[in-house]
Structure 1
Amino acid sequence: MRKTFRKILRGEHSFQEDNHSGYQHHIGKISEVWKGKNHDDYGILRLYRLLIITALFFFPGVLIDEIFKFKNYITRKLIVELYVLLKTLFPLIILVNGWYVYPFVCYLNVYLLIETYLYLFSKIFLEYQHFKVSNKRTLLMLVFNFIESGLSFAVVYMSGDYMNVDMEYIDAIYFSFVTSATVGYGDIHPVTHFGKIISTIQIFCSISFFVLFFNFFSGKAHQTNAQ
């Protein structure tokens, strides 16, 4: 049974352990940005790139990489995927169980959401090349990130009376994804300053998903034309 499960997840791939340290690897990334020799890496862009790569150092993703540094490459990737799935489920669990009434839970939800958006911004501002056609895993992770984002903002909306109606968690999820898609039906809308600010932030943050999806498919079209 265990072999079958490993076969499903890993296929025929075989990787050697490389003693990869999460903290050392990330410090190396910070150093690369600090020594950046790209022709347009200066000014505000350079400061923003340094801010993103440094901020990621203080989130669980790097810690997970450090904890499992003695595992092989594919095992670490699978652990990261599990972490992404758990992050996607976490806000849904909060909503279903009504835990949004607890401030600590809401703060933790926002903390993990910030990590997700820092990761997305790193994909935009720390990688100049198009995604590879074969990198469908990244695209799939983006889908989970998008779902996590919508659910996490729904938790924020449920944590207070910010809307024109009394919402159930289904209403909050609906409003959150409508806002992410920048549709705006108008049946539910924020009436407080905080609600309006959060909705505005969500719209701007959601643009990063559209940028990355467009980048993926435009990169695929570019490589197809090159062939």
Structure 2
Amino acid sequence: MGFLKKLFLSNWSTEFRCVRPAITIQNDHLKAVWNDEKENTFGIERLFKLFLVLSSYVFPGLYLRHISGKFGLLPRKICSEVYVIFKLITPIIIFRCNLEDSIFAIILISYLLLETLLYLLGVIFLSDIYSPPISKKRSYLMLVINYIEVCLGFAVLYKATGGVSELVSNFDAIYFSFITATTIGYGHMAPIGHDAKALAIIHSMYNFIFIGLVLSNFAFNITYKDGTYRVKENKNKSETVNLKKE
């Protein structure tokens, strides 16, 4: 048991950090946007940020973080990771049980994909009120998992619509979903129905969001000063990177 704790938790296994309730934090985020505490917004941007904050209340992620946070910071982080993994394997379970044509499965996948979409948009547009991540590398890893989750989720929807040419098996649906996400498009498979075409459009928009997140995070952590590129650190220090201007 001690080995497993050390394997998964490292030094966190003996550390307990109290955290504020997740719902209270979300309420503070709503107040911050409403009162323009971090930055002044107006028009479409203001309405969109309010929508993103309010949307968290209709998804289980907020309440799972709220409940697990009662046991400390580490349980909250672990619970969030477990929930992300659950969202990742849900499409696989649906495929294994041949439930891709079930209305319940379609609604469930659409619901989880919508939650992921709004979360990713929140990371971009609510970065001024969100706390910095506990680990940048962990955030990138979670982003990769979200990317795979989205591809698998859309694979279920592609199979359910039946509007993709040459799509026969579940693996074909997964394959088509990934090549659509990466904008490769070999040409031997293509959406032919209106539903499948609409899904492909929505799927491509997800891809732009992922690209935007990666680029924005990279740009945020790189600053140019005194002829040298530097990487920002959490404690307002800079570590010189071997990327000097030629």
State TM-score, norm by structure 1.
0.91
Q: Which amino acid aligns with 2:163?
A: Y
* Change in 2 beyond 3 A, CA 1:39/1:59: closer
1:162 is matched with 163
RMSD, aligned CA: 2.1
What CA deviation, in whole Å up to 9, does each residue of 1:104-130 have, x standing for no partner? Answer: 11101110111111110001111149x
State the identity %: 31
Task: Decide which moves more: 144-153 or 206-215.
Answer: 206-215
After TM superposition, the structure 1 stretch with the greater mean CA deviation from structure 2, 6-15 or 192-201, is 6-15
Larger Rg, first or second structure (1 or 2):
2
- The answer for the alignment partner of 1:9 in structure 2 is 8
Residue 57 of structure 1 is matched in structure 2 by: 57
Maintained 8 Å contact 1:179/1:202: yes
C-alpha offsets along residues 55-97 of structure 1, whole Å, 9 cap, x if unaligned?
A: 1111010110222231110111011111111111111111222
- The equivalences for 1:188-203 within 5 A come to 188-203=189-204
| Larger helix proportion of the pair | 1
Q: Aligned to 2:231, what secondary structure does the other structure show?
A: helix
Q: Which amino acid aligns with 1:102?
A: S
| Higher RCO by CA contacts (8 Å cutoff, separation 6 or greater) | 1
CA distance in structure 1 between the partners assigned to 2:78 and 2:133 by the alignment: 20
The answer to which of 31-40 and 56-65 deviates more is: 31-40
Return the alpha-carbon distance in structure 2 between the equivalents of residues 98 and 84 of structure 1. 22
Letter of the 2:91 partner, please give it.
P
The 3 A distance-change label for structure 1 pair 39 and 81 is closer
Q: Distance in 2 between matches of 1:68 and 1:152?
A: 26
Structure-2 change in CA distance of 1:23 and 1:167 (3 Å): same
- SS of 1:191's partner is coil
Residue 86 in structure 1 maps to residue 86 in structure 2 = yes
Q: Which moved more, 1:68-77 or 1:139-148?
A: 68-77
Provide the C-alpha distance between the structure 1 equivalents of 2:39 and 2:64, rounded to a whole number of angstroms: 33
More strand by share: 2
- The amino acid across from 1:11 in the alignment is S
How much has 1:40 moved relative to structure 2? 5.0
Instruction: Indicate if the aligned counterparts of 1:88 and 1:145 stay in contact, CA closer than 8 A.
Output: yes
Note closer, same or farther for the CA distance 1:90–1:57 as it changes in structure 2 (3 Å cut).
same
> Contact conserved, 1:52 with 1:122, CA < 8 A, in 2?
yes
Partners of 2:167 and 2:189 within 8 A in 1: no
User: Which consecutive residues of structure 1, in runs of 5 or more, have no partner in the other structure?
Assistant: none
TM-score by length of 2: 0.84
Question: What are the within-5 Å matches in structure 2 for residues 47-126 of structure 1?
Answer: 47-126=47-126
Per mean C-alpha deviation after superposition, the further-off stretch among 187-196 and 140-149 is 187-196
Correspondences of 1:21-40 after superposition (within 5 Å):
21-39=21-39
Instruction: Name the CA shift for 1:170/1:219 in 2 (closer, same or farther; >3 Å).
Output: same
The answer (yes or no) to whether the contact 2:161–2:195 under 8 Å persists in 1 is no
Contact 1:133–1:220 under 8 Å retained in 2: no
1:149-208 CA deviation, whole Å, 9 max, x = no partner?
000000000112211224211111111111111222211111111111110011012111
Count of equivalent residues: 225
1:132–1:220 Cα contact (<8 Å) kept: no
**Does structure 1 conserve the Cα–Cα contact (< 8 Å) formed by 2:163 and 2:193?**
yes
Please tell me the residue identity of whatever aligns with 1:121: L
